[in-house]
Structure 1
Amino acid sequence: MIKIKDLTLVQWIPKILQAVLNISLVFLALILSVLLVQELIIFSKILLQEENIDYQLFLANILLFFLYFEFITMIVKYFKEDYHFPLRYFLYIGITAMIRLIIVDHDHPINTLLYSLVILILIIGYFIMNITPRERPDSRWFFKK
């Protein structure tokens, strides 16, 4: 095995991959931040027009704004929680995305019902996640004699 300053190549590979992942997430956060600002500009344009305001478009843009916001928040939490994505943020993003779909594509009642069921399932999953203890009991007691 190749040794570089008391670390083997096998020990360096995860460190290199973690660095690539971290750099990629920083770039993604920057891109999402630019898109977030673009959404704010779109909000101001929609609000400043004196013609008929399309409220569905406005609500869809607000929810898209929150999707960007939640993804950026999730990336921040990833770095704050020692390289771990909290599951609850994925649930928040899923719920927000499904609400946006209902607002944008509500022409078909069956699809709206299915989207609503997906939201219900995500909320139930969030509830189950919150009532489940974060610390798992130590399983070593089972093997003690």
Structure 2
Amino acid sequence: MLAYLKLHMKQLITVTMDIILGILALLMVISMIRQLFVLGGHVLSANHELSFATTIRGSLSFFMYFEFTMMIRKYIDEDHHIPIRYLVYIAITAILRQEMVIHDDAVQTLILSVSIFLLVLTLIALQFSEYRIPFLNHRHEADEIKRK
């Protein structure tokens, strides 16, 4: 009886989280579309005093909404977990966005570039470990068995 109750609670929490994440994703898509219209209005306006920084900030906001929406989708698609590799991609993207905005300080640019390099090394290590660590391969085999 206790095992049944735990399973039922787990399913209820999972469904509730999916609904809340779905609402959050919908709100992000609406915000993303709104940001696209704002950015389009700035670009197409007759006012030529639009600064490059304003355009970049609008573009970065749009991609942040897009990135978070895709992360929610990935979380739901991957049976309620986000692969580490995906989080590293997000970190690289965030650092690149930061580097696009703050590119006039040489030391800051060097630190951000080294950070990206370390994250790329992390991706290489993760790729290498998928073939070397048995329990990671076992998880993929278990996922394949579930799908069949």
Cα deviation digits, residues 25-84 of structure 1 (max 9, x gap): 112211211121122112202211231332233233223322222221222222222222
> Is there any run of 5+ residues in structure 1 with no aligned partner, and where?
139-145
Structure with higher Rg: it is 1
Structure 2 residue 106 is matched with structure 1 residue 106: no
TM-score by length of 1: 0.74
Aligned partner of 1:121: which letter?
L
The partner residue of 2:43 within 42, 47, 54 is 47
Per the alignment, residue 11 of structure 1 pairs with 7
Per the alignment, residue 21 of structure 2 pairs with 25
The partner residue of 1:59 within 46, 56, 59 is 56
Equivalent pair of 1:67/1:93 in contact (CA under 8 Å): no
Residues 1:116 and 1:42: Cα distance change in structure 2 (over 3 Å)? farther
Cα deviation digits, residues 71-126 of structure 1 (max 9, x gap): 21222222222222122322222122112222223343332322222222222222
3-state SS of 1:132 partner: helix
Residues in 1 aligned to 2:22 and 2:132: alpha-carbon distance in whole angstroms: 30
How many aligned positions are there? 134
TM-score by length of 2: 0.73
Residues 1:127 and 1:66: Cα distance change in structure 2 (over 3 Å)? farther
3-state SS of 2:72 partner: helix
> Is there any run of 5+ residues in structure 2 with no aligned partner, and where?
136-148
Per the alignment, residue 140 of structure 2 pairs with none
Structure 2 residue 45 is matched with structure 1 residue 73: no
Residues in 2 aligned to 1:100 and 1:133: alpha-carbon distance in whole angstroms: 29
Aligned partner of 2:119: which letter?
L
Q: What percent identity do the matched residue pairs reach?
A: 30
The root-mean-square deviation of aligned C-alpha atoms, in Å, is 2.5
Residues 1:64 and 1:88: Cα distance change in structure 2 (over 3 Å)? farther
